[in-house]
Amino acid sequence: MLIVMRHDATPEQVQAVVDVINEMGYEARPMPGKQRTAVGLVGNDGKVNADRLESLGGVLEIIHVSQPYKQVSREWRDEPTIVELPNGTRIGGSEIAVMAGPCSVESEAQIVGVAQRLREAGATILRGGAFKPRTSPYAFQGMGEAGLKLLALARQESGMSIVTEALDEESLALVAAYADIIQIGARNMQNFSLLRRAGRTGKPILLKRGMAATVKDLLLSAEYVLAEGNGQVILCERGVRGFDTHTRNLLDLTAIPVVKSLSHLPIIADPSHGTGLRAKVIPMARAAVAAGADGLMVEVHPDPERAMSDGAQSLYPEQFEELMEQIAVIAEAIGRELVPSLTGRPVRAVV
Ligand code: PEP
Ligand code: MN
């Protein structure tokens, strides 16, 4: 439930609303905003009797949020959430942010070298897994903390922000200490205790859609993070399981406009895991931007044939450069632009 305050409500009147909510046994979330000041009421399971609140001074209206996800919904907050990273990248506004890098961090030469090329091409966020969720227990599981250290080195050399996955509660504290964005992978989308703990770190969270999750499930998982007081969540469509074996997953591009209408949170697309095939990544990345995605996550490897994971879906750096030029044109066509590059040079638009 949302208690919307009048424009001329005094801080004392807002406090009185907070006090009554607390007395009723719920949690109050004051939300001073540009357009309106409101106080959110959370912690209720079912409808709240609003009689006491309605009669308080300064209260304009009471909105019962109809969706099961409350703080994530557009009813709760209409302004888009913008996640801002230490290097100035903003995700969720008019700019399109690009996260790129290998599936796994493998060596210093690999990650520092590719970061340099990605930065030159205009990407501002570097991805790379140090803790990998692999289907087989015998497959490469990631470099662990050594990989995080290499990501930090690549950040220092390139100025890019870094996003990397926390696989479990054990790796979470380590990942939080190094990363600018903590990734919660598809397989962990409904690991609710991990979501709560990740929320409590206060760091931006990239939440990937589970491969059998509905959009509603995704938004309810995001609600776990917001319920911990962390509103810095970026959603990611990365494909769901389909019945057609031509691609690894079915990249659900409709989820992008659907999420946009239901939530104020930014949503990006991952056409690499979404297709599993290098040749399909560029067309689907272009389509995702055209569909209104706030950004992309793309796997790029300097030598995909030798990649320790996901080589078949990793772009060559030259292909990534081409993709950046193409999405710069698409962004412009829909009244958006790419996040300014770290080199100060605009991404060249090829027409
Ligand atoms: C990844 O980004 O490398 C990854 C494992 O993604 P997902 O959780 O979407 O499979
Ligand atoms: Mn991968």
pLDDT in tens, 121-139: 999 999 999 999 999 999 9
- pLDDT at 66 exceeding the cut of 90: no
Nearest-angstrom CA–CA distance, 34 and 41: 19
**pLDDT number for residue 15:** 97
Per DSSP bridges, beta strands 95-101 and 337-338 are parallel
Query: What domains appear along the chain, each with residue ranges and CATH number?
Result: 2-63 (3.30.70.1140), 83-338 (3.20.20.70)
Please say whether the dihedral angle defined by the alpha carbons of residues 173, 179, 181 and 186, taken in this order, is positive or negative. Answer: negative
Distance 89 CA to ligand 1 centre (A): 22
- pLDDT at 34 exceeding the cut of 80: no
Confidence of residue 349 (pLDDT cuts 50, 70, 90): low
Element (H, E) at 237: strand 233-237
Smallest Cα–Cα separation from 235: which of 261, 215, 250?
Answer: 215
Cβ–ligand 1 distance for 129 under 6 Å, the answer yes
Residue nearest atom 6 of ligand 1, based on CA coordinates: 185
175: its two tokens? 């990942």
What is the atom index within ligand 1 of the atom nearest the CA of 104? Answer: 3
Task: Tell me the pTM.
Answer: 0.94
Distance 339 CA to ligand 2 centre (A): 24
Residue nearest atom 9 of ligand 1, based on CA coordinates: 186
Residue nearest atom 3 of ligand 1, based on CA coordinates: 103
Nearest-angstrom CA–CA distance, 308 and 36: 50
Distance 188 CA to ligand 1 centre (A): 10
Residue nearest atom 4 of ligand 1, based on CA coordinates: 185
Cβ–ligand 1 distance for 119 under 6 Å, the answer no
What is the atom index within ligand 1 of the atom nearest the CA of 133? Answer: 5
Distance 186 CA to ligand 1 centre (A): 6
pLDDT (average), residues 268-291: 98
**pLDDT number for residue 46:** 80
Cβ–ligand 1 distance for 186 under 6 Å, the answer yes
Distance 291 CA to ligand 2 centre (A): 23
Distance 234 CA to ligand 2 centre (A): 18
187 burial (CB, 10 Å; 0-12 / 13-18 / 19+) is middle
Distance 232 CA to ligand 1 centre (A): 20
Distance 273 CA to ligand 2 centre (A): 6
Confidence of residue 160 (pLDDT cuts 50, 70, 90): very high
Confidence of residue 205 (pLDDT cuts 50, 70, 90): very high
Closest listed ligand to the CA of 208: 1
Q: What is the mean pLDDT of the chain?
A: 96
**Alpha carbon 313 to chain centroid, angstroms:** 21
66: its two tokens? 């109809």
Distance 127 CA to ligand 1 centre (A): 11
Q: How far is CA 174 from CA 125, 165, 168, in A?
A: 19, 10, 11
Cβ–ligand 1 distance for 102 under 6 Å, the answer no
Confidence of residue 350 (pLDDT cuts 50, 70, 90): low
| CB proximity list for 15: less than 8 A, separation 6 or greater | none
What is the atom index within ligand 1 of the atom nearest the CA of 103? Answer: 3
**pLDDT number for residue 26:** 94
Identity at 234, one-letter amino acid code: I
30: its two tokens? 């004051």
Cβ–ligand 1 distance for 248 under 6 Å, the answer no
Cβ–ligand 1 distance for 238 under 6 Å, the answer yes
pLDDT in tens, 214-266: 999 999 999 999 999 999 999 999 999 999 999 999 999 999 999 999 999 99
What is the atom index within ligand 1 of the atom nearest the CA of 129? Answer: 3
Cβ–ligand 1 distance for 103 under 6 Å, the answer yes
